[in-house]
Chains A and B, each alone.
Chain A
Amino acid sequence: MPTTADAVPPPTTGRTGRTAVRAHAAVRVDLGPNGAPRLVELRSDVPIVLRLTDVSPARAGVAEGAKPVPTMTVHLVNGAAGPLAGDDLRLDISVGGGVCLVMRSVAATVALPGHGPGPSRLIVTAEVADGGELDFGPEPTVVADGADHRMITEIRLAATARLRLREEILLGRFGEPTGSVLSTLRVDVAHADGTAGDGTAGDGTAGAVGAVGALRTGGTSGGMPLLRQELLLGPRVPGLRGPAQLGGARAVGSLLVAGPEWAGPGPEPAVAEGVGRLPLTGPGYLVSALADDAVTLRRLLTAASDSAG
């Protein structure tokens, strides 16, 4: 049966397939001494190419109600096709206090089959310090026929950090059966007096690509789990097309919004055709949506979030 374990064979050592790529990219921003956002590190590693596309320092006179948070925008550029089977990609993100990092991608990612051993893999880790904000909204991941793709996203938020995280998955290219994908999302929020997720990124050079060790050493003491979610999709997933999982949908997506303003009651739960806004136990809410296509999916996710207040 397709359990998490089946879809995630342990990382192999000595991966030597000719087509396999390993890459470890990183972006770190914080607040510079002059009050402007500062790019501490922007490390591309093909095929993960990072481009700083916008900087907007805080200015007095920002519209009423909006907090003037100095913002940096970084775009992900796919420097090669894929990921292909066997590729092992990692992106580490660190956001300091008082700044907002907006991350986007210029195009959809197409996970493809290939000749490499094991699944293709993309690991994203992020730490956001108190008062910092991360808005991570890449374009969809398209799971091509025959692909076997693994996505792991691990995020640690300080008590007053904010997060907006969008994930969209399309099952196959147009008119094509879907490949397999397992996407794992783990988000933790530190307690106000805790130490977890205080924004001190681990040694950026530590560990092999694929290890998430730096994020685990702190355990969850001093923090709470905000969201744990594994989405397993593929042609052999039991009951996938049944009424409990996807029905006939070809696009699956979620939008996680977290921040101190959502502690306590949070937004009202809301549900409409193909979409639900789900207040979490912790300080945040999840919009979860199903659609026939990417455009509808994006519209559902955006509308449910916009109406949250």
Chain B
Amino acid sequence: MNAGGEESDRLGGGDQRGYRDGGDRHGPSGRSGRRATLLVLADGRMPTGGHAHSGGVEAAVTDGSLASLPDLAAFLLGRLHTAGLVAAAFAAATCHGIATGRTDVAELDDELDARTPSPAQRAASRAQGRTLLRAGRAAWPVPAGPRAPHHPVALGMVAAGARLAPGDAALAAAHATVTGPATAATRLIGLDPLAVTAVLARLADDVEATADAGEAASALPTRELPALTAVRLDLLAERHRVTALRMFTS
């Protein structure tokens, strides 16, 4: 915990928490493989619920603000640096909290509620968290926790069950923040899938930086964890819920 108020806005000291027990990532520990499996589980194309959610893309297409590849790139960048950072921090904090026993997973889940004012987004996040947990439990001994946690908390739980590190959970969270919406955009407005893949490839450094920032921030007291908001995403989520004709749940 922080020593005092003067420290309140400073980030934690980075990765000095000894998650090296997974061994060399190319060694026989299997961590690379588990990390790859986690990324696949988090991917929007897996039948873990992500394929049913566009992360606001469908509503943005409907209101005309997302109609082209550059629009998609700007959308993904804006989503990554707000919701993506929050997700990365909470995935890492959950994984860290389980590994150390120092943070209550339910408390993190409540804190995400407070960071998600849109009821539609809360419902979408919990629906995806629940299905991710089911898939994760089929693969690894995922520790007990909320039945339908927010998606980043579920990612952290699954990562902990796979004996992965908080940084791995953060990377999966940041990755999932952009891949699901990108896939949805391909389907919704007929963008060239190869061009969309190129957009994602150009975002790779931002995804990694977001994961790193989220992991670093995860050492903060829970109430001070990142809470960056994207106002249009909130409004788009609510607008989508009352739309009669829609392909995606959110």
Q: Please determine whether chains A and B interact with each other in the same assembly.
A: yes
Q: How far is the CA of A44 from the CA of B159 in the complex (A)?
A: 52
Q: B211-248 toward A: CB 8 Å interface, digit per residue (1/0)?
A: 00100110001110111111111111011011000000
B residues near A232, Cβ cutoff 8 Å:
82, 228
Judge whether A278 and B78 touch: CB under 8 Å. Answer: no
With a cutoff of 8 Å between Cβ atoms, the chain B residues found around residue A241 in the complex are 74
CB under 8 Å from chain B, chain A span 252-309: 252, 269-271, 274-276, 278-282, 286, 288-290
A-B contact count (CB 8 A): 184
Q: Mark A214-227, 1 if CB is under 8 A from B, else 0.
A: 10100010001111
Which residue of the partner chain, among B81, B122, B235, contacts A239 with CB atoms under 8 Å? B81
Interface 1/0 per residue, B41-73 and A, CB below 8 Å: 000000000000000100010000110000101
The answer on a CB contact under 8 Å between B117 and A230 is no
- Chain A: CB-nearest residue to B235: A276
Among A2-10, A30-38, A94-102, the stretch in contact with B: A2-10
Which one, B8-16, B25-33, B135-143, B188-196, is touching chain A? B8-16
Asked whether, in the complex, the Cβ of B9 is within 8 Å of the Cβ of A10, the reply is: yes
User: Cβ of A188: which chain B residues have Cβ within 8 Å of it?
Assistant: 223
Q: Does A11 contact B (CB under 8 A)?
A: yes
Instruction: State the Cβ distance, B84 to closest chain A Cβ, in Å.
Output: 10
Q: Is the CB of B56 within 8 A of A244?
A: yes
**B76 interface contact, C-beta 8 A:** yes
Q: For the complex, is B119 an interface residue (Cβ under 8 Å from A)?
A: yes
- A282–B110 Cα distance when bound, in Å, is 10
Of the residues A246, A252, A281, contact of B113 by C-beta under 8 Å: A281
Interface membership of A65, Cβ < 8 A: no
Question: Does A231 reach chain B (CB closer than 8 Å)?
Answer: yes
**Which residues from B are CB-within-8-Å of A224?**
110, 114
Q: Assuming A211-B6, A274-B235, A278-B238, is B226 touching A238 (CB within 8 A)?
A: no
Tell me if A200 is interfacial: C-beta within 8 Å of chain B. Answer: no
Could you say which of A207, A220, A246, A249 has the most chain B C-beta atoms within 10 Å of its C-beta? A220
Known: A1-B81, A212-B8, A213-B5. A280 touches B117 (CB 8 A): yes
* Residue A14 interfacial (CB < 8 Å): no
- How far is A190 from B60 in the complex, measured between Cα atoms in Å? 37
Q: Do B4 and A228 touch (CB < 8 A)?
A: no
- Which of the four size classes fits the interface of chain A? 35 or more
Question: Which one, B10, B81, B117, B119, contacts A227 given CB within 8 A?
Answer: B117
- Which listed residue (A152, A242, A247, A279) contacts B119, Cβ 8 A? A279
Given the interface contacts A2-B81, A244-B230, A245-B232, does A228 sit within 8 Å of B74 by beta carbon?
no
Q: Shortest Cβ distance from B104 into chain A, in angstroms?
A: 10
Contacting pair A211 B119 (CB below 8 A)? no
Judge whether B107 and A238 touch: CB under 8 Å.
no
| B155 within 8 A of partner (CB) | no
Residues from chain B with Cβ under 8 Å of A239 in the complex: 74-81
Q: B residues within 8 A CB of A4?
A: 9, 11, 85, 217, 226, 228
Specify which chain B residues have a CB less than 8 angstroms from the CB of A282 in the assembled complex. Answer: 113-114
Query: Is the pair A286, B6 in contact by a Cβ cutoff of 8 Å?
Result: no
A103 to nearest B CB, angstroms? 23
Q: Which of B6, B110, B114, B236 makes the CB contact (< 8 A) with A210?
A: B6
**Chain B residue with Cβ nearest A8:** B9
Q: B118 on the interface (CB 8 Å rule)?
A: yes
Interface membership of B7, Cβ < 8 A? yes
CB-CB contacts of A146-160 with B at 8 A, as 1s and 0s?
000000100000000
What residues of chain B lie closer than 8 Å to A175, measured between beta carbons?
Answer: none
Which residues 87-125 of B have a CB within 8 angstroms of A? 107, 110-111, 113-115, 117-120, 122
With contacts A4-B9, A225-B111, A247-B232 known, what are 17 further pairs, Cβ within 8 A? A4-B226, A10-B9, A186-B227, A211-B8, A213-B5, A213-B8, A216-B2, A231-B231, A238-B78, A243-B74, A243-B236, A247-B65, A269-B118, A269-B119, A270-B238, A275-B235, A279-B119
A-B contact pairs, 8 of them (CB 8 A): A5-B10, A210-B5, A212-B5, A213-B4, A239-B76, A242-B75, A244-B82, A245-B82
B interface vs A, CB < 8 Å? 2, 4-11, 56, 60, 65-66, 71, 73-82, 85, 107, 110-111, 113-115, 117-120, 122, 206, 209-210, 213, 216-217, 221-223, 225-236, 238-239, 241-242
List the 7 closest pairs (A to B, CB-CB), nearest first.
Answer: A239-B78, A242-B74, A211-B5, A213-B5, A239-B77, A244-B78, A243-B65
